[in-house]
Amino acid sequence: MTEITDVDAWEVLDSRGDPTVRVRVEAGDAAGTFTVPAGASTGAHEAVERRDGGDRYGGRGVREACAAVRDELAPVVAGRSVTDQAGIDEVLVDCDGTENLSRLGANAVLGVSGAVAHAAADATDRPLYAVLAPDAGPGDLPMPMINVLSGGLHAAADLPIQDFLAVPVGAETYPEALETVWAVRRAAGNRISADRRSAGNRSPSGDGDGDHPPPVADEGGFVPSVADADAAFELLVDAIRDAGYAPGDEVAIAVDVAATHFYDADRDRYALAGERLDRAAMVDRVAGWIDAHPICSVEDPLAEDDWDGWERLADRVGDRVQLLGDDLLATNADRLARARGAGAANAALIKPNQAGTITRTRRVLEASQDAGWAPVVSARSGETCDATIADLAIGLDAGQIKIGSLARSERLAKYNRLLGIARASDGGFAGGDALAPLD
């Protein structure tokens, strides 16, 4: 048994330049480090991260969360076997004493939980995905859904819809999937640059800016000069064709609507691109997108507590496309159970920092699989080069992963980790069969 001998935490900066928590756990000669991500598009039902407040870093410092790791969490895990992930996570949650981890902070608790998993991998001389896997062993390389266009809270743009993603459903291997979307993304960038040139936009030097890539958002997606969702869908379809692929058959589209962030609860209306849509009209709008475009997955098409809207949409299109709950489910077992009972979705986005521990994350992912739903392991908008979710997706056979675009080192670290695993392992590729609705 390798016992935990030391736990430390310190403040680092994420991909948006905001502070986040990094934790190192030592167990004899073994050690593991994990860095906690953070989201811009956060739901009300997520585990609660701890921020310092005050003037420093605009109130977003995490020194108090780091102190909580050192002063309160380290003593309760010291001396425990580093390979007892479930037992350690249980004492971490008990030490916090709240269901949503708001006392010490989910970023503090998850920091220790994730570092323990890495230390266990080092102590047992196994890759992290093997440590996280059940007795049956790790699963296939996941199908990536890759951000190409961004709006909403991820971009300073008029487009209210958060992300438009390419899903390489025709790819037969993980490397082929990346190559496919690289070509689509490049084609989309060329189209956006051409549109900017034709609109007369100029670079600061006075030269046309068409030779420069378009601006990118938090997760590396291009920011298009469109304010209408249909125009964004059409742009992406054109880019798929420009890249030499058949829209829908070889490359399909996923969309993260993030509807909670333009839902007006006081008026019970969706404020979408200058329109005020009631529930029925919003369901009609999303269904219309699905009818008109080669969409295979729709994430958060209704607000996080609009259960009636989710049920209506599921009844209408749930047998045709993946209805993916993020804010609706918040990687929370109770909300997943409610959604399952209501038939409100058929896929669950899995984010470790919404759950607060590796064990909670695992249980929600496995519960979604037990329900016959498709899990999708996901990064956040505020990331680092920590690639833990790549191992998590393979270890638990999630089948799908959502990291961001093929840009920025914090995104590429995870894609490249999967490439390394693909090279070193004999695992297969989940491919398009991983998308809901599952057979």
User: Where are the domains positioned within the chain?
Assistant: 6-126, 143-434
Residue 322: C-alpha distances to residues 46, 117, 210, 260, 342 (Å) = 22, 31, 36, 18, 16
Choose among 436, 431, 434: nearest CA to 172. 431
- Could you tell me the end-to-end alpha-carbon distance of the chain, in angstroms, rounded to an integer? 43
Determine which one of 351, 383, 410, 414 is catalytic: 351
pLDDT of residue 207: 40
pLDDT of residue 204: 42
Q: What is the mean pLDDT of the chain?
A: 94
Determine which one of 26, 46, 219, 311 is catalytic: 219
Averaged pLDDT for residues 230-244: 97
List, in sequence order, every residue forming a beta bridge with 24; answer none if it has no partner. Answer: 8, 33
Q: Which residues contact 157 (CB under 8 A, 6 or more apart)?
A: 150, 151, 217, 223, 224, 227
pLDDT band at 84 (very low <50, low <70, confident <90, very high): very high
Binding positions for Mg(2+) are: 256, 299, 326
Binding positions for (2R)-2-phosphoglycerate are: 162, 351, 380-381, 402
pLDDT of residue 10: 98
Lowest mean pLDDT among 145-159, 199-213, 259-273: 199-213
Active site residue 219: yes
Q: Is the pLDDT of residue 402 over 80?
A: yes
Q: pLDDT tens digit string along 292-312?
A: 999 999 999 999 999 999 999
Higher confidence at residue 79 or residue 196?
A: 79
Lowest mean pLDDT among 23-27, 38-42, 276-280, 424-428: 38-42
Choose among 302, 370, 311, 301: nearest CA to 339. 311
- Token reading at 255: 């969309």
| Residue 146: strand, helix, or coil | strand
Q: Is the pLDDT of residue 25 over 70?
A: yes
H and E: helices and strands count for the chain: 14, 15
Q: Right CATH number for 6-126 from 3.20.20.210, 3.30.390.10, 3.40.50.2000, 3.40.309.10? A: 3.30.390.10
Averaged pLDDT for residues 59-80: 98
Q: pLDDT tens digit string along 111-159?
A: 999 999 999 999 999 999 999 999 989 999 999 999 999 987 655 567 8
Q: Please give the model's pTM, rounded to 2 decimal places.
A: 0.95
Q: Right CATH number for 143-434 from 3.40.50.720, 3.40.50.1220, 3.20.20.120, 3.40.50.1010? A: 3.20.20.120
Residue 38: C-alpha distances to residues 42, 130, 222, 263, 353 (Å) = 9, 26, 21, 22, 7
Q: pLDDT tens digit string along 50-63?
A: 999 999 999 999 99
- Token reading at 410: 């914090």
Binding positions are: 162, 256, 299, 326, 351, 380-381, 402
pLDDT of residue 206: 39
Q: Is the pLDDT of residue 365 over 50?
A: yes
Lowest mean pLDDT among 4-13, 35-44, 262-271, 391-400: 35-44
Averaged pLDDT for residues 222-237: 92
pLDDT of residue 156: 54
Higher confidence at residue 323 or residue 273?
A: 323
Active site residue 351: yes
Residue 410: C-alpha distances to residues 19, 91, 146, 176, 380 (Å) = 15, 31, 14, 21, 10
E strand or H helix at 253: strand 252-256
